[in-house]
């Protein structure tokens, strides 16, 4: 089967007969290199937008395999829906999500979020996600325990809004090549990507997933550059 063309490629395609001489920004070159090497990643691994919201909170400070165990505990009891969450006591929710770590804290955060949607949006996730992008982001950031990485994951992967997700892997890969400083702030690094890429949620979705893949396979705490697709870019001493 022919490989799906990514929207970024379509948007970058020059018109027939027109040569493109403008050098591409580094964020686009890296994306193209990773996408050609790994192909589409099919993120986020979830069956509904609500499951993405739950997963984004459960994955705080823990590995994804622990989140999967917690999600399965909820799914197998038919509790992985907004309606079920509203009726679920916080203490029972905490017990079920125990494998994800910090379970009391995460149960409180999940209940805070569902109560907020209940109060402000009559319990409708669709209504909540239909809000203007900045309004929605600010509202989520105002909730206790939701930082920019969690909020942008919800916005991008559950609501389909074009916000680039920054995590430790992004900072590690881009600072090792000295494209950015190792201590660059979240918002500045997000702006680094969003100013170079088209505002396209599908591209941001794929890009973040590709960064995670590269970091897990090659750019670990100790870099293994030999087989990494990004070794075509120089790494300054
Ligand atoms: S493993 Fe090496 S080549 Fe790959 S992203 Fe990390 S520093 Fe770059």
3-state secondary structure of 27: helix
In this prediction, residue 155 carries a pLDDT of 96
In this prediction, residue 153 carries a pLDDT of 97
Pocket test of ligand 1: the residue of 175, 216, 228 to mutate, having most ligand atoms within 8 Å of its CB, is 228
Ligand 1 atom 3, closest CA: 231
Q: Could you write out the three-class secondary structure of 31-81?
A: HHHHHHHHCCCCCCCCCCHHHHHHHHHHCCCCCHHHHHHHHHHHHCCCCCC
Express each pLDDT in 37-64 by its tens digit: 999 999 998 989 999 999 999 999 999 9
Report the C-alpha gap between 216 and 1 in whole angstroms.
28
Q: Does residue 125 have its Cβ closer than 6 Å to ligand 1?
A: no
Q: Is the dihedral of CA 220, 180, 148, 10 positive or negative?
A: negative
Residue 221 covered by a domain: no
CA of 231 to the centre of ligand 1 (A): 6
Residue 179 covered by a domain: no
Report the C-alpha gap between 42 and 182 in whole angstroms.
29
Residue 219 covered by a domain: no
CA of 155 to the centre of ligand 1 (A): 28
Express each pLDDT in 191-215 by its tens digit: 999 999 999 999 999 999 999 999 9
Q: How many domains does the chain have?
A: 1
In this prediction, residue 3 carries a pLDDT of 44
Residue 89 covered by a domain: yes
The token duo for 230 is 């990004």
- Burial (CB < 10 A; 0-12, 13-18, 19+), residue 42, is exposed
CB 111 within 8 A of CB 93: yes
CA of 223 to the centre of ligand 1 (A): 6
Residue 19 covered by a domain: no
In this prediction, residue 1 carries a pLDDT of 36
Report the C-alpha gap between 110 and 107 in whole angstroms.
5
Residue 59 covered by a domain: yes
Report the C-alpha gap between 134 and 6 in whole angstroms.
26
Residue 201 covered by a domain: no
**Rounded to whole angstroms, what are the CA distances from 175 to 38, 126, 212?**
21, 37, 15
CA atoms within 13 A on the CB side of 38: 26
- Burial (CB < 10 A; 0-12, 13-18, 19+), residue 208, is buried
Give every residue of the chain whose pLDDT is below 70, as ranges: 1-22
In this prediction, residue 110 carries a pLDDT of 97
CATH number at residue 57: 1.10.340.30
Residue 138 covered by a domain: yes
Residue 112's domain comprises 49-158
In this prediction, residue 236 carries a pLDDT of 85
Count of other CB atoms within 10 angstroms of residue 236: 6
CA of 87 to the centre of ligand 1 (A): 47
Pocket test of ligand 1: the residue of 219, 232, 234 to mutate, having most ligand atoms within 8 Å of its CB, is 219
CA of 216 to the centre of ligand 1 (A): 11
In this prediction, residue 17 carries a pLDDT of 57
Q: Does residue 107 have its Cβ closer than 6 Å to ligand 1?
A: no
Model pTM score:
0.90
């Amino acid at each position: 089967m022919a490989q799906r063309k990514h929207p970024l490629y379509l948007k970058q395609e020059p018109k027939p007969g027109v040569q493109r001489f403008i050098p591409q920004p580094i964020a686009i070159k890296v994306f193209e290199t990773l996408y050609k090497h790994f192909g589409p990643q099919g993120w986020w691994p979830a069956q509904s937008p609500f499951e993405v919201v739950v997963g984004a909170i459960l994955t705080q400070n823990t590995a994804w395999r622990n989140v999967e165990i917690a999600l399965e505990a909820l799914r197998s009891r038919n509790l992985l829906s907004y309606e079920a969450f509203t009726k679920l006591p916080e203490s029972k929710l905490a017990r079920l999500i125990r494998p994800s770590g910090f379970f009391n804290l995460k149960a409180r955060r999940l209940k805070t979020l569902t109560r907020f949607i209940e109060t402000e949006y009559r319990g409708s996730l669709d209504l909540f996600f239909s809000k203007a992008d900045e309004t929605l982001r600010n509202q989520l950031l105002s909730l206790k325990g939701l930082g920019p990485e969690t909020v942008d994951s919800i916005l991008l992967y559950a609501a389909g809004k074009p916000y680039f997700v920054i995590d430790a892997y992004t900072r590690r890969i881009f600072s090792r090549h000295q494209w950015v400083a190792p201590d660059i702030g979240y918002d500045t690094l997000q702006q680094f990507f969003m100013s170079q890429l088209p505002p396209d949620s599908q591209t941001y979705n794929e890009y973040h997933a590709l960064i995670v893949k590269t970091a897990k396979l090659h750019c670990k705490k100790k870099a293994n550059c030999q087989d990494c697709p990004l070794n075509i870019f120089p790494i300054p001493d």
